[in-house]
Structure 1
Amino acid sequence: MPDRLTKEQRSALMGRVRQKDTAPELALRSALHRRGLRFRKNVRGLPGSPDVVFPGAKVAVFVDGDFWHGRDFAAWSAKLQPFWKAKIERNIERDRGNVADLEALGWQVLRVWEKDVKKRLPDVVEEVASLVSARRAGRRVRAGAGLDVQATVRLG
């Protein structure tokens, strides 16, 4: 099925999709700040420009949109047009590459789904706080224990 929008209309529509400061990112950052954690946001010098960065602890947090980053992609990818399927697959591969690049630089990466931020914010905040605390104490930890994880660490 061809796209019903013109190239210009599609471009305008896609241009309105937020890439940073999304509602889930704002909610997580606000909760982390209330918890007393201080961080940088959208650090462009790091692979993937992580949404939340704790430089001293070398912890990078990404808040991934469920659609754009392929949450449960295998379950619904067959319904997509080939263009969109390829787009999401490229996003997933880019995410994996960014995680590998960050890990090679000594960073620990936590990727959380927007759904988890919306429905399990206290759990996500606790996971981030525990990871940052452990890293600041000099311990390398496997975050996400007891949670459904993907890539390095993935809540949800």
Structure 2
Amino acid sequence: MRRGTRARSPEPLNEHVRNEMSCMPRRDTKPELALRRELHRRGIRYRVNFGGLPGRPDIALTRVKVAVFVDGCFWHACPVHGTLPKNNREWWQAKLDRNVERDKEEDAALAELGWIPLHYWEHDDSDEVADEIEWVRNSVLGF
């Protein structure tokens, strides 16, 4: 494939599948909202879907340069819960592999800019994730 071109998506199996995929939220998912509520409850302030950074972090703690991503198990190939559709299997495998590769590239770009990228799975406990984010934040601030 030439640079700058995208592989054309295969036709969905049926109209139901098309509707399901088009309704998938890109932001404000339940796991993201739960984490944001917990961080806010703890007094940790952040920006949501912070533009201008590689990967457009779901949550950005701009003062300490921490970029938080809440990754979906399907889209980011979770080793525990990730699945591969039966229809168009090869296309989906390449798509999901590229997503994982892109995540690594964006993390490297963030690190070059002085940001700390943190990734969590959608199934991770929001209290535990908030504990870790708070610990990283406090470490950077010297608390």
TM-score range, shorter chain: 0.7 to 0.9
Instruction: Give yes or no for the alignment of 1:127 onto 2:118.
Output: no
CA RMSD of aligned residues (A): 2.3
Q: 2:111 aligns with which of 82, 103, 109?
A: 103
TM (normalized to structure 2)? 0.82
Unaligned runs of 5+ in 2: 1-10
Q: Which has the higher helix share?
A: 1
* Equivalent residue pairs, number: 131
Paired AA for residue 106 in structure 1: G
Question: Are the counterparts in 1 of residues 57 and 68 from structure 2 also a CA contact under 8 Å?
Answer: yes
CA distance in 1, matches of 2:139, 2:49: 22
Question: Are the counterparts in 2 of residues 56 and 136 from structure 1 also a CA contact under 8 Å?
Answer: no
Question: Are the counterparts in 2 of residues 40 and 54 from structure 1 also a CA contact under 8 Å?
Answer: yes
Instruction: Give yes or no for the alignment of 1:15 onto 2:22.
Output: yes
Structure 1 segments, 4+ long, off by >2 Å, are 2-6, 9-15, 75-80
Instruction: Give yes or no for the alignment of 1:82 onto 2:90.
Output: yes
* Alpha-carbon shift at residue 77 of structure 1 (Å): 5.1
Deviations 1:53-108 (A, max 9, x none): 011101000000011101017x8559671111111111101111110000010111
- Residue in 2 that maps onto 1:63: 70
Unaligned runs of 5+ in 1: 139-156
CA distance in 1, matches of 2:134, 2:56: 20
Instruction: Give yes or no for the alignment of 1:5 onto 2:5.
Output: no
How many percent identity over aligned positions?
Answer: 41
